[in-house]
Structure 1
Amino acid sequence: MSLANVFNIAGSGMSAQSIRLNTVASNIANAESVSSSVGETYRARQPLFAVAHQQAMQKPLGDDVLDASAGVGVKVQGIIESDAPLRRQYEPNHPMADDNGFVYYPNVNVVEEMTNMISASRSFQTNADIMNSAKEMMQRVLTLGQ
């Protein structure tokens, strides 16, 4: 693996964590939105990550080629909705209440979302630090010949 691949791998990690932060922000923004039916209620969303494999890894292995199981980053396969039950509260005076007096709140756990936000921001920062370290290593290699 060349040092240049480190930038692609760390960049894919930063991109994935950005998507994770966006879904967390969406979940927190909609945490207290209400609806009068189960079908219209916002559901918490989470990104689904997977290992990104390099297409060139299908070639026969040589001395300079990595193991075929090695990944070259992360990709987001999609955004999935949570299957957790919605919160149903009896509020007959609420303008969004259904005929039985119930309103439905999203299945968003704000504490869990804040934890996800901290984890995603730290992962993003770690990938940025990896890119910075790789850049410094490449600069040091250039100065070896002087």
Structure 2
Amino acid sequence: MSDLLASLSAAAAGMEAQSMRLRHVSENIANADTPGYRRKLISFDQTVDGLVAPGTARLDRSELTRIYQPGHPLADATGHYDGSNVDLVIEIADAREAQRSYEANLRMFDQARQMTQSLFDLLRR
């Protein structure tokens, strides 16, 4: 019985971590055109009981895109300003990966729940 509960806990922790990842990906996509915006990255940590947990978010330190638009209010003397370092192709790929990981954890959670229900049904007989 404790193995079933452990699998439920592991699946729930995985779903929580992937939902946090999806939240950061959606923030990155929403701010792709925001000048000076740096992409947020999230890592996963292993907890003491072996479950996964979302780590702290950190900013991507890669170069910001330089955009030439002389009439822009943020443009410097050369007519350039710093855009964001968000690449929509990477963000969409990350969102797909997080979605699939979430769905895999959801299937694992559902399977463990069904097994627990079957065990309870057997014990009631």
TM-score by length of 2: 0.91
Of 24, 39, 56, which aligns to 1:44? 39
2:34 match: 33
2:77 match: 99
Q: What amino acid does structure 1 have at the position aligned with 2:25?
A: V
Q: Quote the offset at 1:144 in angstroms.
A: 2.5
Deviations 1:66-111 (A, max 9, x none): xxxxx2x101220011111110022112222123311111101100
Is 2:68 the counterpart of 1:119?
no
1:109 match: 87
CA distance in 2, matches of 1:102, 1:23: 28
- C-alpha RMSD over aligned residues: 1.3
State which structure, 1 or 2, has the greater radius of gyration over its C-alpha atoms. 1
Specify which structure has the higher proportion of helix: 2
Q: Quote the offset at 1:140 in angstroms.
A: 1.5
CA distance in 1, matches of 2:43, 2:121: 42
Q: Quote the offset at 1:12 in angstroms.
A: 0.8
CA distance in 2, matches of 1:142, 1:90: 66
Spell out structure 1 runs of 4+ moving beyond 3 A: none
> Identical aligned pairs, as a percentage?
33
CA distance in 2, matches of 1:99, 1:7: 58
CA distance in 2, matches of 1:142, 1:26: 43
State which drifts further: 128-137 or 96-105.
96-105
TM-score by length of 1: 0.79
Q: What amino acid does structure 1 have at the position aligned with 2:40?
A: R
Matched length: 123
Gaps of 5+ in 1: 35-40, 55-70
2:20 match: 19
SS in 2 for 1:79: strand
Q: Quote the offset at 1:48 in angstroms.
A: 1.2
Gaps of 5+ in 2: none
SS in 2 for 1:2: helix
CA distance in 1, matches of 2:60, 2:76: 23
